[in-house]
Structure 1
Amino acid sequence: MHNPAVAALVDAADPVDALMKSIRIPPRPSLLADLQCELARDEPAPAAIARIIAADVGMAGALLKLANSSFYGGTRQAKSIDQAIAFLGMTQVAALMAGLLARQAIATSGASLAQFWELSTRRAQAMVFLSKRLRIGAADVAHTFGLFCDTGVALLLARFADYDSTCVLAAGEPERRFTDIEDERHSTNHAAIGCLLARNWGLSSEVAWAILHHHDYQVIDDHASDDTVRSLVALSLLAERALQAYQGTPDSVEWRKGGARACAYLGLAEDEVTDLIDQLSDALGQ
């Protein structure tokens, strides 16, 4: 027999669970699942990857446009998905597709979200640049993390009417973690939501774990944590500082919180950081 009093008690006992259920996590797109399935094979076939992507004409066209952009395409212009795969590699093409699918799945109107996607794209590009330049990790993994690390922001913008003001407060907080402010105001945070989406979408555990901890800079010093997680969080701090500089704001609150840890982990002196930021700003401006 249904007991309303017991049901109310259960609901009250787990308000976090009720909150999480109220935040819509988009299901993993079937196209992404098919791509991941093929890439998981012992010998993934470029032709099979191309067929999966070509089945969605709109996505295929968007991928070609992105692959031929100055940041990814360079001097080589791909005229087909097969050529894009040959130029960029299967894993990088899959990472670009994941980003396009994320933007389609989290399609909400509003100036805040448009700005969010622009910044996410820049961050992903910055992560690729830094991963290649410093020869740390795989560029496609850095790209995926850079694009997905703040997807929770987009989902929380849709859930909470005052989340914009939360972001303003958290971005200006000089000592406490960004996620602490979110937890205080909303009982959840974008890192936790982004991690959940990453897991639901079949992204690697290292990417999901790095998303969860990308505002917890102590993880950089944690030798028990996976090196990929530590390097992604360290690179994200460097990317954040570079993006701030690119936008004309040389000071970065997040860099002040974790920059020293990132430099120590990456083995970078301050003048090397300055050079990297200048090079990255030039690349983003092209």
Structure 2
Amino acid sequence: MKTIRIPPRPSLLADVQQELSAREPDPKKLAKIIANDVALAASLMKLTNSSFFGLRLKAGSVEHAVDLLGLDQCSMLLTGIIARQTMSNGGAAMARFWDFSTKRAQAMSFLARQMRACPTDIAHTFGLFCDIGVPLLMEKFPDYSKNLEKAAKDLDHKITDLEDQRYSTNHAAVGSLLARTWGLPNEVSVAILLQHDYSSLQDKSTEDRVRTLIALALLAEYAIHKYHGEDLFAEWEKGGDLACQFLGMSQHEVEDRFDELHDMFNGIS
């Protein structure tokens, strides 16, 4: 772990988090922080006016976008935008990584809202960051991508166990460390660490929100795989039943959620 480069928390993210954590956050001050970074402001405006949010009004300025979204939604989007700006080197592989992470975050936010399972901003943040350790290990180990692809198809072993054997660490541990370093909510960093340990879904000593995030992420990822025509998803084979049991979902309800998510993916593609 000591030899892996964990990017420091971007100063822009620190400024945003400081304002949002104030006793009475000021939307105008937050808008000013955002507007000082042209790329951040442009990305926020684009997302605010996208079909994903489906807002009746279109934002005409950063301040207007903050008012339309609210502080919680703004925090969710800004954290993701800044993360993508900070960790975008890597060409096509990183583009695919962020495309999948964004789709998972959108799916988790949708599921959290529809099922009233947890706050949508927390679900979205976890969806974006749960695999954030992957690009850090790709940067450190030249053979990591090839071995991760192989491990992802293994039906008998946890991905993190296979990574530990080869690299003496794993993407969940590295990602959890980055989440803590960047000041993300504690339940997000814990859920990142436990994301492939599906036995935690039955462990009542694990916080309910952590288990909810793990279960929703598995449901969202399986929906994405099915959307792309991939019916066999090893992680679902390992933890799907436990996730459904924890969420109190029948197979019929799972299929209904998949249909809803596929409609959403079609609408934002």
- The two structures have a TM-score, normalised by structure 1, of 0.90
Equivalent of residue 69 in structure 1, options 33, 47, 50: 50
State the partner residue of 2:18.
Answer: 37
Tell me the alpha carbon deviations over residues 69-119 of structure 1, each in whole angstroms, 9 at most, x when there is no partner: 111244432112222222221111111111111111112123222111110
| 1:144 correspondence with 2:125 | yes
Residues 266 and 118 (structure 1), Cα distance of their counterparts in 2 relative to 1, 3 Å cut: same
* 1-structure distance, mates of 2:54, 2:179: 27
Other structure's SS at 2:2 match? helix
Rounded Cα–Cα distance in structure 1 between residues aligned with 2:55 and 2:230? 28
Alignment partners' CA distance in 1, 2:211 and 2:195: 9
Q: Tell me which structure has the larger Cα radius of gyration.
A: 1
Paired position in structure 1 for 2:210: 229
Report the secondary structure of 1:114's partner residue. helix
Q: CA deviation at 1:284?
A: 1.1
**Structure-1 residue corresponding to 2:145:** 164
Deviation digits for residues 196-235 of structure 1 (CA, Å, limit 9, x no counterpart) = 1000000011100001111111111111111110100010
How many angstroms apart in 2 are the aligned matches of 1:205 and 1:83?
30
RMSD: 1.2
- % identical equivalent positions: 51
Can you list the C-alpha shifts for 1:94-147, whole angstroms capped at 9, x where unaligned? 111111111111121232221111101111111101100101111000010000
Secondary structure at 2:72 match in 1: helix
Mapping 1:90-101, distance limit 5 Å: 90-101=71-82
Classify the secondary structure of the residue corresponding to 1:21.
coil
Q: Which residue of 2 aligns with 1:5?
A: none
Q: Distance in 1 between matches of 2:74 and 2:54?
A: 11
> Which residue of structure 2 lines up, in the alignment, with residue 60 of structure 1?
41
Give, in whole Å, the separation in 1 of the partners of 2:203 and 2:229. 33
8 Å CA contact 2:153–2:233 kept in 1: the answer is no
Deviation larger for 24-33 or 38-47 = 38-47
8 Å Cα contact 1:166/1:185 also seen in 2: no
Distance 1:285 1:23 in 2: 38
Instruction: Give the deviation of 1:32 after TM superposition.
Output: 1.0
1:23 aligns to 2:23 (yes or no): no
- CA deviation string 1:231-258 (max 9, x = no partner): 0001011011111111111222111111
Aligned to 2:136: 155
Give the match for residue 85 of structure 1.
66
Distance 1:190 1:252 in 2: 19
Q: How does 1:261-272 map to 2 (within 5 A)?
A: 261-272=242-253
CA distance in 2, matches of 1:110, 1:175: 32
For structure 2, the 5+ residue unaligned runs are: none
Contiguous gaps of at least 5 residues in structure 1: 1-19
Task: Tell me whether 1:201 sits opposite 2:182 in the alignment.
Answer: yes
CA contact (8 A) 1:130 1:235 kept: yes
Name the CA distance, whole Å, in 2 between partners of 1:246 and 1:81.
34
